[in-house]
Amino acid sequence: MAVSTKSLKIHSNAENQMIDLTQETTDFIKKSGILKGIVTVFVSGSTGSIITIEYEPGLIKDFPEMLDRIIPRDLDYGHEQMWHDGNGHSHVKASLVGPSLTIPFMNGKLCLGRWQQIVFIELDTRGRNRDLILQIIGE
Amino acid sequence: MAVSTKSLKIHSNAENQMIDLTQETTDFIKKSGILKGIVTVFVSGSTGSIITIEYEPGLIKDFPEMLDRIIPRDLDYGHEQMWHDGNGHSHVKASLVGPSLTIPFMNGKLCLGRWQQIVFIELDTRGRNRDLILQIIGE
Amino acid sequence: MAVSTKSLKIHSNAENQMIDLTQETTDFIKKSGILKGIVTVFVSGSTGSIITIEYEPGLIKDFPEMLDRIIPRDLDYGHEQMWHDGNGHSHVKASLVGPSLTIPFMNGKLCLGRWQQIVFIELDTRGRNRDLILQIIGE
């Protein structure tokens, strides 16, 4: 049994951008030499999230639109009254969607469906440098 | 420390069906002989999710109704414009609810509350064969 | 590699109260002597959830208000018709937000962002005694 950790720095360009992390995660498992276990993909920060989704142009619009519908930008957020940084909706979205995803793998291969990718979504109001953690536990 | 993995094939009959996986998960932990650790329950696929819920007839209606309310079937989904398979809402729901759940166990027993079950929910528009993964890490 | 488990009993005072668990989780990792791995924070029960959020007075209002908006208390819940305990909305909220969060740590330190705390949210209609589990797997 072993733990293997990778710090992954990425850059997003704009609110609602989705970045596919599947290849990066696959490569990291291969490099670790660990054959079966779990990988946790985590975003350090309170305005981004990790999901699985079919990474295609339709859903890349649909998922953020859903979040905008249920958590609109222009409500009267307490966070805005305190800090005036215009991203109250970003925080609420990220807490609902969540910063962490744990995926099993077997024989060195992620147990994902064919149309299921691991994706970071930028929920802040502008592009940002992001610190992600990929951490494998297995044998 | 050990990793123990079970591929679990289930069949759903219709959209929004919920299937209780608690007994199956409990049995798998017992069979593994592992006494303390975590079990990750994961659905390979982008239109189903894993939750905990009190598995009773009222909530079996209430939870899917909530999803239908916030992510209605009849919106104009980009996924539908691309692929015409009628399940844009299914993908958006599944990405929000999530494909993965990690539950600790101690003394061979899941740390669930008395009214808290581990449940798969079918979010696609028809019954499907589903590949789930149960994976234990512990000692 | 080792597993270390802590049962944590907390008390909430009212619906929507949020309780910061970051220090407790940090202390438990330090005490365990485990330097790298994951910690799973889990609530045993079907009407409470674990999230990460910037724990400040604005968002402490905003996050519960979002849940009240998308899952209002006064809808006609099947759970209410069955059990008459007035908390159908609590169950639906908790199943959506989720009972489990897995966070990596390195060099004995949680991989959280500077404004990102680990928080329990009470979603039931009254204060309750709550059983949480903190479980570390690592080396």
Structure tokens at B61: 């209606």
- Subunits in contact with chain C (3 or more CB pairs closer than 8 Å): A, B
Instruction: Answer yes or no: do B5 and A104 touch at CB < 8 A.
Output: yes
Q: Is A113 on the interface with B (CB under 8 A)?
A: yes
Supply φ then ψ for residue A110, to 5 degrees: -60, 140
Residue B15: which pLDDT band, with cuts at 50, 70 and 90? Answer: very high
A121–chain B nearest CA distance, Å = 11
Q: Is B82 on the interface with C (CB under 8 A)?
A: no
pLDDT at A42: 98
Q: What is the pLDDT of residues A58-106, one digit of tens each?
A: 999 999 999 999 999 999 999 999 999 999 999 999 999 999 999 999 9
Q: Is A42 on the interface with C (CB under 8 A)?
A: yes
**Helix, strand, or coil (residue B12):** coil
Indicate yes or no: pTM above 0.95: yes
Q: DSSP 3-state helix, strand, coil percentages of chain A (rounded to 5)?
A: 30, 35, 35
Instruction: Answer yes or no: do B46 and A66 touch at CB < 8 A.
Output: no
Percent of chain A with pLDDT over 90: 100
Measure CB to CB from residue B113 to each of C40, C44, C82 and give the nearest one. C44
Q: Indicate the domain borders of chain A.
A: 2-138
Instruction: Answer yes or no: do C99 and B54 touch at CB < 8 A.
Output: no
What is the mean predicted confidence (pLDDT) over C108-123?
98
Distance (Å, whole) CA A48 – CA A51: 10
Measure CB to CB from residue C113 to each of A45, A96, A98 and give the nearest one. A45
- Complex ipTM more than 0.90, yes or no: yes
Residues from chain A contacting residue C51 (CB–CB below 8 Å): 95-96, 98
Q: Is C138 on the interface with B (CB under 8 A)?
A: no
Supply φ then ψ for residue A120, to 5 degrees: -90, 135
| CATH class label, A2-138 | mainly beta
Residues from chain B contacting residue C124 (CB–CB below 8 Å): none
C114–chain B nearest CA distance, Å = 25
List the one residue out of A59, B110, A103 whose CA is nearest residue C133.
B110
Intra-chain end-to-end CA distance of chain B, in Å: 4
Task: Give the residue from chain A lying closest to C61, CA to CA.
Answer: A78
pLDDT at C66: 98
Which single residue is written with the structure tokens 């029960």?
Answer: C45
